[in-house]
Amino acid sequence: MSKPGEIYGKPWSEREYIIVLYHYVLHRGEPRHHLRDYVKEVADLLGRTVGSVVMRMENYASLDPEENSRRKGLVNVSTLGEKVFTDWFHQQETLKTCAEVLIRDTRGAEQPTLFDPEPIRLPRALGKYDLLDSLGDGGFGSVYSCVNSEDQNAYAIKIIRTDKIADPEVLGRFRREIKALKTLSHPNVIRIHEDNLDEQRDFPAFVMDLAKSSLSVFLENRLGRRPAGDHRPVLPASEAIAILQAVLNAVRALHESKPALIHRDLNPNNILLMPDGQWVLADFSLAKFLPTAVVTTTFATGSHQGWGTDTYTAPEQWQDFKRTDQRADIYSLGVLIWELMSPSWPPFDRSSLLLPSPLEAIVLKATQRSRELRQSSVEQLIAEFFGALETISLPQDTRK
C-alpha cells in the first residue's frame, strides 16, 4: 500500500518557510509571480510548484508593513509561517546564515544528477495540487490548504486519515461525504471541485473551496475572552442573524434535497467564513441520506452508539445513531441560536438562556429532549425564528 506522502506530497516544513523568507527579503519590493527567475529557482530547489512559492511570498507580504498594501495572493497565513516571519524577519543577517546552510543541505540531498537530470518534484495531489499547510484533523479526515498548479488558485483538500483507512465504516463515511457534497449545490454549502474516489482506493481525497476561518475561530477573534463572572460578549444582532440565516438556509437545502440529507454535526467548527464574506456549512462526515433516499451507500452503520459534538448533538444521536432524523439537526440549530444570540456563558443550559422571551421559547422547543416535541421541520424553525425577531428589540453590540 502506498503512503499518503507518496500520493499527495507533504505540507510545508519550517525549513522551506525559512528558505522562502530569505528569498523574499532578497527580492523585497520586486514583482512576485510564477515567471520570475528567482521564484522558479526556489521552486526547483524545494520541489514545489511556482504557484505555492508565490503564495508563500504573498503570505510574508501580508505580514510586512511595507508590502502589505501591494500584496496580491493568499490571505491565509499559517501559524508556522507567521512564527517564522516573527522569529527571523528582523534578524536578517542571522536569517541569511541559516538559510544558506539549509539551501546547501537541500541541494546536497536532492541535487539532480546525470542519471536524473530533472529537479526533484514532490507528488501533487490529484496530479496538480501542491500541499501547503495542515488546517486540522477531524474524526475521519485531515484537511490541508493547497494550490492548483494550473490556475495558481488556493483550495482545501481533505484526505482520509491514515489511522482510519482500515476501518470500513470510516471509509464508507468518507465516501458518503463526497457523494453528499456532489449532490448539493447551494451558496451556503461548501463547494466540492473534484475527487479521486474512483481512482484511489487506499487514501481517497477531495478538493473544496478554501475558507478564511471557522465560526469558532471568528468568534474568538472578534469577541475575545472575558472574566467568568461577566456576561459573555456577543456579535451585533444584525451580524449574528446573518450567520444564522446562512446556516438555516443551508440546512433547509439539505433537508429538502433529493434525496434528503441530514448533517448531524452542526457546530461552529463546521460553519466557515469564505473569502467573499459568505458563510457556508462544511464537514459532512456524519451526514446521512434519509431512508427514502434514492442514493444509497454500500455499507451499514456498525456498532458505534453515537458520534457528534458535545453540547450541540441531540440526545437521541448519542443513544441510537442510525435512527436519527432531521429533528437532530433542529436540536443543534437551537443550540446555535443560543450560542450567537445569548450573553450567557457556556455550557448550554436550558434553565439559564438569557434570551428575550420569544427567542427563549423557540430555543427551548428546538432543544427538547424528546424529538417529537421539537419543531417538525427547519422551515417551521425559520418561520418561528424570524417571526420572533419582529417582536423584540435586540442590542446591536454587547462588547465593551
Task: Write the DSSP string, 8-22.
Answer: H--PPPHHHHHHHHH
Residue 123 lies in a domain: no
93 and 184, same domain (yes or no): no
65 and 140, same domain (yes or no): no
62 and 172, same domain (yes or no): no
382 and 290, same domain (yes or no): yes
pLDDT at 302: 43
Amino acid identity, position 26: L
Instruction: Write the DSSP symbol of residue 326.
Output: H
How many distinct structural domains can be found in the chain?
3
204 and 220, same domain (yes or no): no
Structural contact between residues 175 and 204, judged by C-beta atoms closer than 8 angstroms: yes
C-alpha cell at 308: 457528534
**End-of-domain residue from the set 208, 243, 269:** 208
Tell me which of 6 and 348 has the higher pLDDT.
348
Least confident stretch, 74-88, 114-128, 296-310:
296-310
Continuous segment of H or E residues that includes residue 200: none
> What is the tens place of the pLDDT at every residue in 215-254?
999 999 988 765 556 788 899 999 999 999 999 999 999 9
Least confident stretch, 43-52, 274-283, 302-311, 386-395:
302-311
In which domain, by residue range, is 155 found? 129-208
Tell me which of 281 and 396 has the higher pLDDT.
281
Residue 249 lies in a domain: yes
Longest dimension (CA), the chain: 78
Phi/psi region, residue 47 (left: phi>0; alpha: psi -120 to 50; beta: rest), is: left
Torsion of CA 339, 342, 347, 348, to 10 degrees: -80
d(CA 302, CA 320): 11
d(CA 397, CA 235): 6
pTM for the full model?
0.88
Mean pLDDT of the region 301-317: 71
pLDDT at 74: 55
Residue 400 lies in a domain: no
142 and 31, same domain (yes or no): no
Q: What is the mean pLDDT of the chain?
A: 88
- CA angle (320, 326, 331) in 5-degree steps: 80
Sequence-separated (6 or more) residues with CB below 8 Å from residue 201: none
**End-of-domain residue from the set 66, 83, 110:** 110
28 pLDDT tier (thresholds 50, 70, 90):
very high
155 and 61, same domain (yes or no): no
> What is the tens place of the pLDDT at every residue in 257-306?
999 999 999 999 999 999 999 999 999 999 999 865 333 333 334 444 45
**End-of-domain residue from the set 208, 233, 251:** 208
The DSSP annotation for 181-199 comes to HHH---TTBPPEEEE-TTT
Cell 444570540 sits on residue = 341
Least confident stretch, 75-79, 176-180, 375-379:
75-79
336 and 266, same domain (yes or no): yes
199 and 273, same domain (yes or no): no
Tell me which of 296 and 107 has the higher pLDDT.
107
Is pLDDT of 113 > 90?
no
| Burial class of residue 200 in the structure, from the number of CB atoms within 10 Å of its CB (0-12 exposed, 13-18 middle, 19+ buried) | middle
pLDDT at 80: 94
pLDDT at 395: 64
Residue 30 lies in a domain: yes
Mean pLDDT of the region 67-89: 82
Residue 124 lies in a domain: no
Is pLDDT of 109 > 80?
no
158 and 288, same domain (yes or no): no
CA-atom Rg of the chain in angstroms: 24
Residue 122 lies in a domain: no
129 pLDDT tier (thresholds 50, 70, 90):
very high
Continuous segment of H or E residues that includes residue 133: strand 129-137
CATH of the domain at 355: 1.10.510.10
Is pLDDT of 100 > 70?
yes
61 and 144, same domain (yes or no): no
Residue 394 lies in a domain: no
Residue 121 lies in a domain: no
366 and 232, same domain (yes or no): yes
Tell me which of 105 and 296 has the higher pLDDT.
105
- Residue 105: CB atoms within 10 A of its CB come to 11
116 pLDDT tier (thresholds 50, 70, 90):
low
Nearest CA among 315, 332, 314 for reference residue 271 = 332
Least confident stretch, 12-21, 110-119, 247-256, 349-358:
110-119
Count of H-run helices and E-run strands, the chain? 13, 10
pLDDT at 198: 86
pLDDT at 303: 40
